[in-house]
Chain A
Amino acid sequence: MEELLFTLIPAIIVLPLIGALINMFAIRDGRRAGLIASAACVASFVVGLTAFILLAGLPHEERTHVDVTLWQWIDAGPLQVPFGFLFDPLSAVMVLLITGVGSLIHVFSIGYMAHDARPVRYFVYLNLFVAAMLILVLANNYLLLFLGWEGVGLCSYLLIGHSFERKEARYASMKAFVMNRIGDFGLMLAILALFQRFGSLNYGVIFPRAGELVGQQIDWVLGPTAVASAIAFCMLIGVTGKSAQIPLWTWLPDAMAGPTPASALIHAATMVTSGVYLIVRSHAIFILTPSVSNTTVYIGVATAFIAASIAIGQYDIKRVLAFSTVSQLGFMVAAAGMGAYTAAIFHLLTHGVFKALLFLGAGSVIHGAHDVQDMRRMGGLRTAMPATFWTYLAGTAALAGIFPMAGFWSKDEIVGSAFHGTRFGTYPVVGTILIITAALTAFYMTRQVSLVFLGRQRDTSYHAHESEGIMTIPLWILAAGSLIVGLINIPGFYFLEHWLEPVFEVAHAVGEPLPFSFTLAIITVALALGAAFIAYQVYANRQWKKTFRDPLTRYLGVFFEGFEHRWYADDVYEAMFVRPFKATASFLSRIFDPMGIDGLVNGAARLVGLGGRGYRVLQTGYIRSYTLVFLMGVVAVLGYFGFATVR
């Protein structure tokens, strides 16, 4: 049975790759490409599910040892890195999320991309993306993880820049890649350090020995956890890049320039979760260092809150969702930082489902509204696209954390962990902020639903229509999913908690299942419902022109402007980093290199030329001056010999 597993695991990755290759070389027709891509992804899901079941059939302790090495990747003396995969409970659930949600997005895309100029290319990217993400979660060592990590970065770059004729797409794609690279810098540094400390990059070698890091000192940071902290901190940089946390979060909202289903795939369900996955995967290192873990928590919670506040001020339907993603990722990162790893993964899974739903819903809206994205130009779309509306409402409820939707369970577990405490202690302030953020979430989602679906259509220049079945069916499936997926870790049973236990056992990081707190549940749900009610009151059923200002500007003033302009983060980055960078580049290129470094080189040559011309003046052409120089030479030579005899 294990052998079957060994063949299935590579197949999970290879299938979407084959899909990509077929589409790349053999297919010219968009719809056919979509079908092939979807088939590949679905097949990968089926294989993944089979593998999952097989894994579940294994005894508890063996579940973390399904490790298959395809070939030796890097074989450079002491540096040995296999091209190998590890299929353990953690990667198994990730595989299911990626291929499952991914398949639905593929299917949805067939309809959505029907009128695109380059659908084949799009599906190639999509399949590649899934493959890269699968490599990321299935890798059995950090370097291969890094391959997937950068691979999804590349695919997101391609997908965001898919419609490269549009300026924002071009810029956003590059911004995404570069910001991710900055994060990758940290991760790579962490990987280098891990290799230096352990002489290997395999999880199977590092995690059981992770404890050795405690007590190792480095000269510039004192304290027994210095090395572990440094490594974890570098990883955290990577996490902030990929999972769009402060300070590297600004690429994600811009990344909405890609096709909407791609946003669903990349920026909601899969790619951005890899940061969280990394922390959970590397929990063995993070639990050693309370300081970095706490930093992680603060970054997460700050991101959650700030992104939520920004989401309130956005008019673009996708941008709201984008900031909501950033905010939800903040929840997950905070949870991972606290050591509530199961909670983080739990929220990751539920969020993956309902955020995909919301994005696809938004895609359906945009598709039906003929590429309109500004919510002020929408309104009343409920009647035109009922299926989209109802599924969207389900997603909203899930995101807002309304009982009994998935988001309720997972978010509650994170908030609960903050108050109840973890191995690093309790986080009451963090918990409070998270609750407030959850309320804000309910607010802006209700605002969105109100603006898009309720009331009357404000801009009647287009005729909205419902999307075709190939797009709505995935929406229904996901809507059902957002209800069901919450059950996988429902209090009392804690399926996910138990399923992941073998993973955390290695580093003795298994936590106690969190007791369910009714008080907390009631408070959060009540706050969310209250916020939703206010939003409904403010936004639903109003008569506005299509260019109205948000009524909140009246009450919040500059704060709302801050929301609207994303707290000016991009402008600050532009002024602090981009412009000095460009100015320095220009200085180096125009002045320092040609006049400084090259100036020395040319100057030396010029000096010789000058010497030559100077000499020509001496060569006067007068024989008498030649004889004079001769005589001077005689004097010098005789002078030397005179000097030599005296000495």
Chain B
Amino acid sequence: MVPTEYYVMLSALLFTIGVTGVLTRRNALVVFMSVELMLNSANLALVAFSRRWNHVDGQILTFFVITVAAAEVAVGLALLVGIFRTRRTTNVDEVNTMRG
């Protein structure tokens, strides 16, 4: 059996990739994908822990996370469409009229 630590390492790695993506990518869609990656890395960890403790709490939570992520994406895409309509861009760096 693969030790739990391995899953956690992998999930941490995925999480880091996600964070890096958020930090470095300018396209809002890609940023969303990176966030999804972060959430899913957490899911991976949850499932792994769930197996380790031998009960389903973690897995239940995983389902909720997936749901939440979907809802978030729904709202996010709607917003993105709106922004694209008015500004013709999905570059997050161009969305900075408010600062200071």
Quick check: A623 and B92 within 8 Å, CB to CB? Answer: yes
Quick check: B23 and A624 within 8 Å, CB to CB? Answer: yes
Of the candidates B26, B96, B97, B98, the one having the most CB atoms from chain A within 10 angstroms of its own CB is B96
Quick check: B100 and A628 within 8 Å, CB to CB? Answer: no
The reply to whether the CB of B99 lies closer than 8 angstroms to some CB of chain A is yes
Docked Cα-Cα span, A35 to B99, in Å, equals 87
* Chain A hits for B46, CB < 8 A: none
The reply to whether the CB of B44 lies closer than 8 angstroms to some CB of chain A is no
Interface SS of chain A: helix
* One of B19, B23, B95, B96 near A620 (C-beta < 8 A): B96
Within 8 A of A (CB), among B11-54: 19, 22-24, 26
- Closest A-B pairs by Cβ, 10 of them: A621-B99, A621-B96, A616-B100, A623-B92, A622-B96, A627-B22, A619-B100, A620-B99, A619-B99, A622-B93
Docked Cα-Cα span, A33 to B59, in Å, equals 112
Within 8 A of B (CB), among A624-646: 624, 627-628, 631
Quick check: B95 and A623 within 8 Å, CB to CB? Answer: yes
* Chain B hits for A627, CB < 8 A: 22-23
* Chain B hits for A621, CB < 8 A: 96-100
Docked Cα-Cα span, A627 to B23, in Å, equals 7
**Least Cβ distance of A593 to chain B in Å?**
36
- Sort chain A's interface into a size bin: 10 to 19
Docked Cα-Cα span, A627 to B20, in Å, equals 10
* Chain B hits for A620, CB < 8 A: 96, 99
* Chain A hits for B93, CB < 8 A: 622, 624
* Chain B hits for A619, CB < 8 A: 99-100
Quick check: B97 and A631 within 8 Å, CB to CB? Answer: no
Quick check: A628 and B23 within 8 Å, CB to CB? Answer: yes
Q: Which residue of A lies closest to B95 (CB)?
A: A623
**Least Cβ distance of A463 to chain B in Å?**
89
Docked Cα-Cα span, A623 to B90, in Å, equals 13
Known interface pairs A620-B99, A622-B96, A624-B24; 15 further A-B residue pairs with C-beta atoms within 8 A, sorted by A's residue number: A616-B99, A616-B100, A619-B99, A619-B100, A620-B96, A621-B96, A621-B99, A623-B92, A624-B22, A624-B23, A624-B26, A624-B92, A624-B93, A627-B22, A631-B23
Within 8 A of A (CB), among B52-100: 92-93, 95-100
Docked Cα-Cα span, A449 to B5, in Å, equals 124
* Chain A hits for B95, CB < 8 A: 623
* Chain B hits for A623, CB < 8 A: 92, 95-96
* Chain A hits for B23, CB < 8 A: 624, 627-628, 631
Docked Cα-Cα span, A398 to B100, in Å, equals 93
Of the candidates A620, A624, A631, the one having the most CB atoms from chain B within 10 angstroms of its own CB is A624
**Least Cβ distance of A142 to chain B in Å?**
71
* Chain A hits for B98, CB < 8 A: 621
Docked Cα-Cα span, A623 to B31, in Å, equals 11
Docked Cα-Cα span, A627 to B18, in Å, equals 12
Docked Cα-Cα span, A631 to B23, in Å, equals 9
* Chain B hits for A631, CB < 8 A: 19, 23
A-B contact pairs, 12 of them (CB 8 A): A616-B99, A619-B99, A619-B100, A621-B96, A621-B99, A621-B100, A622-B92, A622-B99, A623-B92, A624-B22, A624-B24, A624-B93
Q: Which residue of B lies closest to A617 (CB)?
A: B100
* Chain A hits for B99, CB < 8 A: 616, 619-622
* Chain A hits for B24, CB < 8 A: 624
Docked Cα-Cα span, A628 to B20, in Å, equals 10
**Least Cβ distance of A619 to chain B in Å?**
6
* Chain A hits for B96, CB < 8 A: 620-623
Q: Which residue of A lies closest to B98 (CB)?
A: A621
* Chain B hits for A628, CB < 8 A: 23
**Least Cβ distance of A638 to chain B in Å?**
12
Docked Cα-Cα span, A622 to B31, in Å, equals 13
Docked Cα-Cα span, A628 to B95, in Å, equals 16
* Chain B hits for A622, CB < 8 A: 92-93, 96, 99
**Least Cβ distance of A637 to chain B in Å?**
15
**Least Cβ distance of A316 to chain B in Å?**
76
Q: Which residue of B lies closest to A621 (CB)?
A: B99
Docked Cα-Cα span, A623 to B95, in Å, equals 8
**Least Cβ distance of B14 to chain A in Å?**
16
**Least Cβ distance of A590 to chain B in Å?**
38
Of the candidates A616, A619, A620, A623, the one having the most CB atoms from chain B within 10 angstroms of its own CB is A623
* Chain A hits for B97, CB < 8 A: 621
Docked Cα-Cα span, A631 to B19, in Å, equals 9
Of the candidates B92, B98, B100, the one having the most CB atoms from chain A within 10 angstroms of its own CB is B100
**Least Cβ distance of A627 to chain B in Å?**
6
Docked Cα-Cα span, A623 to B23, in Å, equals 9
Docked Cα-Cα span, A622 to B95, in Å, equals 7
Q: Which residue of B lies closest to A634 (CB)?
A: B19
Within 8 A of B (CB), among A49-88: none
**Least Cβ distance of B18 to chain A in Å?**
11
Within 8 A of B (CB), among A589-638: 616, 619-624, 627-628, 631
Q: Which residue of B lies closest to A628 (CB)?
A: B23
Docked Cα-Cα span, A623 to B99, in Å, equals 10
**Least Cβ distance of A307 to chain B in Å?**
77
Q: Which residue of A lies closest to B99 (CB)?
A: A621
* Chain A hits for B100, CB < 8 A: 616, 619, 621
**Least Cβ distance of A612 to chain B in Å?**
10
* Chain A hits for B19, CB < 8 A: 631
* Chain A hits for B22, CB < 8 A: 624, 627
Q: Which residue of A lies closest to B94 (CB)?
A: A622
Docked Cα-Cα span, A616 to B98, in Å, equals 11
Q: Which residue of A lies closest to B19 (CB)?
A: A631
Docked Cα-Cα span, A396 to B51, in Å, equals 128
**Least Cβ distance of B31 to chain A in Å?**
8
Q: Which residue of B lies closest to A623 (CB)?
A: B92
Q: Which residue of A lies closest to B92 (CB)?
A: A623
Docked Cα-Cα span, A623 to B32, in Å, equals 13
Chain A, 372-412, contact with B by CB distance < 8 Å: what is the 0/1 string? Answer: 00000000000000000000000000000000000000000
Q: Which residue of A lies closest to B25 (CB)?
A: A624
Docked Cα-Cα span, A620 to B96, in Å, equals 8
Chain A, 580-594, contact with B by CB distance < 8 Å: what is the 0/1 string? Answer: 000000000000000
Chain A, 195-214, contact with B by CB distance < 8 Å: what is the 0/1 string? Answer: 00000000000000000000
**Least Cβ distance of B100 to chain A in Å?**
4
**Least Cβ distance of A634 to chain B in Å?**
9
Docked Cα-Cα span, A340 to B25, in Å, equals 107
Docked Cα-Cα span, A620 to B100, in Å, equals 6
Q: Which residue of B lies closest to A615 (CB)?
A: B100
Docked Cα-Cα span, A134 to B24, in Å, equals 97
* Chain A hits for B26, CB < 8 A: 624
